[in-house]
Structure 1
Amino acid sequence: MNAAQTSTIEGRLPQPRRGRTAVPVLAADEAVAVARDLAAELAIGSAERDADRVLPSSEIDRLSSSGLLAITVPAAHGGADLPVSVVAEVFRLLATGDPSIAQIPHSHFVYVNALRHRADPAQQEFFFGEVLAGKRFGNAQSEVGSKHVRDHATTLHPAGPGRWRLEGTKGYATGALFADWIPVLAHLGTLPDGSAGPLHVAWVERTAPGVIVIDDWNGMGQRTTASGTVRLESVEVPEDRIMGYHLTFEGPQTYGAFAQVLHAALDAGIARAAITDAAEFVTTKSRPYPDAGVERAAEDPLVVHAFGEMELAVRGAEALVAEAARAVDRADADLSAETAAHASLAVAAARAATTQASVDAGSRLFEVAGTRSALDSLNLNRHWRNARTHTLHDPAAWKVQHLGRWAVDGTLPPSHGQL
């Protein structure tokens, strides 16, 4: 990409909002009701946004002003402090309306969670205040071309007393384009032996000098998440905007399980949306197959049976998401290596089930709806594209592997961000 292209792309980026207008602090039932209503609104233009890759700037502003992005702020800082079971249901509901919009704030919630566990009191007071004021967090975590997903080259270099200089390039930076603050995962300096220092999170404003957010995401699905690239060129970071990350996985934790159950909820929402659209099509547009001897396609016993199989799979996946979220809540209430491991196993089951259910529902939609449903103008294929793209986030097969090891000989799963 040349400089002219970069400039053009950056010019399209939504600009962060200023001021500290407070958002509503929602109770659990209110959060679910708001998410359900907002999902219905988002569903209206979801197909068109996907088809034309219209970035959902106004929709994300609507999500922010609803108060949903503040539901996990601790009560001690004025937030609702809602349990994971409610957060997962909010994600599932939003994904039934538009899974791209549901994915955009995923990292926002993950880093609010990181603040709870790794930030110092002053950092918590400031950043939780930002969330309650309606500000959004993005992410600059993964790197393209690294050895593996947990391999990072981005580094904070000393730049004088109390100051650091951030250098690196991040990919798959979902949420960064719409963010006010971008938490960046980076090594803090170098050790005496020349190896990279421990991982930390550097909090940088999206408009800070040297922060370049590039809208270059071109995935076949989740097309409007704008999960593009973030370049960090000599970004100055004060010491009080850096918090530890390297100790996160050294003891019992649900940090990874929390992040993963939200992914599972998102896939469950995609699966439910696929069935909903398939049913609407079959009951209003499909013609019956002559051999069925029925007046309506919705009365064809083979179609009904296929819907029954899809409903069974999706209900099972939804139930596993709900149970996984409750398992994380139970672990948080009584954290130990055992409770954290059981939460991770419950989430692994949910992720494996929602992966299968969402991909299958997105594909079987066409089996039950018939030839006409394949018209590109209808864009029903977005459900499969979204499911297939999002479920590649990390391999479901490894979730099954860890479940199998537990079932065979009681081996606890590893403690990291993917479980």
Structure 2
Amino acid sequence: MPPVEPLQDKAVAAVPVLTADEALAEASRLAAEFATGAGVRDRERILPRDQLAQLAASGLLAITVPAEFGGADLPFSVVAEVIRRISVADPNIGQIPHSHFVYVNQLRIQGSKAQQALLFGEVLAGKWFGNAQSEIGTKHIREYRTTLSEVGDHWHLNGTKFYCTGALFADWIPVLTHLGVDGPMHVAWVSRLAKGVEIIDDWDAVGQRTTASGTVKFTEVEVTQEWITNYSDTFTGPTTYGSYAQLMHSAIDVGIARAAIEEASKFVTTKSRPYPDSVAIYGIDRAAQDPLIVQAFGEMELAVRGTEALLAEAGRAVDAATLHLTEEAASEATLAVAAARASSTQVSVEVTTRLFEVAGTRAALTAENLDRHWRNARVHTLHDPAAWKVQHLGRWAVEGLQPPRHGQL
């Protein structure tokens, strides 16, 4: 496989610094463009290279850079809404920058001023971050084998990562790794073009097919101290690190659900035939007039509106806790996001399934590709088990137990 070239070269101009209104307007504009061809990209597994270049140039990836470094410093709720709007058009494109925003936040929390100045400057120049976090074959998802080993005045990074969404297109790959054998977790910031970095496009799933969430191998990659930030201390005190990451995941699910109901509506009003009994009993001539179909759409709309409202509420809770970080505020943000994530998981899978119920047999044709909504929902909602969100909500409701601190909640 030939090497994958980065989206941007080193001469890229500074991206726009957007206000909240401008960011949302730009997300809507890009979403309208990204929707065109989304089905074809899914069917033929065409990676959204051109679309991601547009996203990088738009300034949307820089909206959380702190104001002191020249960024817009927009609230996390705005990021979630940007991702939701893009995910309605194509949730693959909605998911790819998720890790970018997570690691911009990690840099805010744990980076030194010098590290922040350099890497935030890269983001403002149109560069972006991928991720190399999860590994296959470990005991659980928060167990890692990748290690930075000290060699003289620098470190060597060795390990293999999977589910590396965004790494295929990124300029920088933040790598979650032990500092020393079994040492505390740190992040190594590695150029995707560094010697010893091998990026493999081997993601092959039934849904979210074009996120390119494949494998990255690191073999004796040289890393100096200035490119290493602490990770283990992220959860030693109250934090919105995990709730913010999960907020964006919920936004992707909510976008998928909204896309499914919109496409189902379009299909029913333009392609579906009425059932003979509805014609005989109610005298209708269009499937969209069938009271059973109308009822089903009403139920789906109710569910989608509910999960959209929970997403918005969760965004406000994360914003509030980030501004005034206390144990109580952080826990409230975590619980609010857990509710949104549990709801968006259930609703996105349910609505993308009922799409076929209201649209009828023709909707199952491969040529229509309506199944991509269910496939996308089913795959993305596996990211973190919703049952554990409900479990922690129940523990709080029954006994007032605070939720744990980690990146999956």
Q: Which amino acid aligns with 1:289?
A: Y
What secondary structure is seen at the aligned counterpart in 1 of 2:160?
strand
- Give the structure 2 partner of residue 268 of structure 1: 254
Contact 2:7 2:49 in 1 (8 A): no
Post-superposition Cα deviations, 1:324-356, rounded to whole Å, max 9, x if no partner, equal 010001101111111100100000000000001
Contact 1:14 1:57 in 2 (8 A): no
TM-score computed with the length of structure 2 as normaliser:
0.98
- Give the structure 2 partner of residue 298 of structure 1: 288
- Give the structure 1 partner of residue 10 of structure 2: 18
Contact 1:17 1:180 in 2 (8 A): no
Q: Which amino acid aligns with 1:274?
A: A
What secondary structure is seen at the aligned counterpart in 2 of 1:248?
helix
User: How far has the Cα of 1:238 moved from its partner?
Assistant: 1.1
Distance 2:366 2:198 in 1: 35
Distance 1:14 1:216 in 2: 18
Contact 2:134 2:141 in 1 (8 A): yes
Corresponding position: 1:242 with 2:232: no
- Give the structure 2 partner of residue 193 of structure 1: none
Distance 1:148 1:37 in 2: 40
Superposition pairs of residues 37-52 of structure 1, within 5 angstroms: 37-52=29-44
- Give the structure 2 partner of residue 381 of structure 1: 371
Superposition pairs of residues 47-62 of structure 1, within 5 angstroms: 47-62=39-54
Q: Which amino acid aligns with 2:210?
A: T
Distance 2:322 2:341 in 1: 20
Superposition pairs of residues 330-345 of structure 1, within 5 angstroms: 330-345=320-335
Distance 2:313 2:115 in 1: 33
User: How far has the Cα of 1:255 moved from its partner?
Assistant: 0.2
- Give the structure 1 partner of residue 83 of structure 2: 91
Distance 2:231 2:397 in 1: 31
User: How far has the Cα of 1:19 moved from its partner?
Assistant: 2.0
Q: 2:312 aligns with which of 322, 326, 330?
A: 322
Distance 2:379 2:56 in 1: 25
User: How far has the Cα of 1:155 moved from its partner?
Assistant: 0.2
Aligned-residue identity in percent: 65
Q: CA RMSD in A?
A: 0.9
Distance 1:248 1:399 in 2: 21
Pair 1:154–1:20, CA change in 2 (3 A)? same
- Give the structure 1 partner of residue 208 of structure 2: 222
User: How far has the Cα of 1:18 moved from its partner?
Assistant: 2.3
What secondary structure is seen at the aligned counterpart in 2 of 1:79?
coil
Post-superposition Cα deviations, 1:30-54, rounded to whole Å, max 9, x if no partner, equal 1001101111111111000000000
- Give the structure 2 partner of residue 73 of structure 1: 65
- Give the structure 2 partner of residue 189 of structure 1: 180
User: How far has the Cα of 1:409 moved from its partner?
Assistant: 1.0
What secondary structure is seen at the aligned counterpart in 1 of 2:169?
coil
TM-score computed with the length of structure 1 as normaliser:
0.96
Corresponding position: 1:281 with 2:272: no
What secondary structure is seen at the aligned counterpart in 2 of 1:89?
helix
Q: Which amino acid aligns with 1:141?
A: Q
What secondary structure is seen at the aligned counterpart in 1 of 2:170?
coil
Distance 1:282 1:86 in 2: 33
User: How far has the Cα of 1:16 moved from its partner?
Assistant: 4.8
Superposition pairs of residues 107-146 of structure 1, within 5 angstroms: 107-146=99-138
Contact 1:137 1:176 in 2 (8 A): yes
What secondary structure is seen at the aligned counterpart in 2 of 1:247?
helix
User: How far has the Cα of 1:17 moved from its partner?
Assistant: 2.6
Corresponding position: 1:355 with 2:345: yes
Q: Which amino acid aligns with 2:142?
A: R
Post-superposition Cα deviations, 1:397-419, rounded to whole Å, max 9, x if no partner, equal 00000001111111110011111
Contact 1:16 1:178 in 2 (8 A): no
Contact 2:7 2:53 in 1 (8 A): no
Unaligned runs of 5+ in 2: none
Post-superposition Cα deviations, 1:367-400, rounded to whole Å, max 9, x if no partner, equal 0000001000111000000000000001000000
Distance 1:264 1:346 in 2: 11
Distance 1:11 1:81 in 2: 34
Corresponding position: 1:232 with 2:224: no
- Give the structure 2 partner of residue 180 of structure 1: 171
- Give the structure 2 partner of residue 418 of structure 1: 408
- Give the structure 2 partner of residue 147 of structure 1: 139
Q: 1:369 aligns with which of 356, 359, 366?
A: 359
Distance 1:247 1:11 in 2: 36
Post-superposition Cα deviations, 1:194-245, rounded to whole Å, max 9, x if no partner, equal xx11110000000100000000000100000000000000000111000100
Give the length in aligned residue pairs: 405
Distance 1:268 1:37 in 2: 19
What secondary structure is seen at the aligned counterpart in 1 of 2:331?
helix
Contact 1:99 1:386 in 2 (8 A): yes
- Give the structure 2 partner of residue 5 of structure 1: none
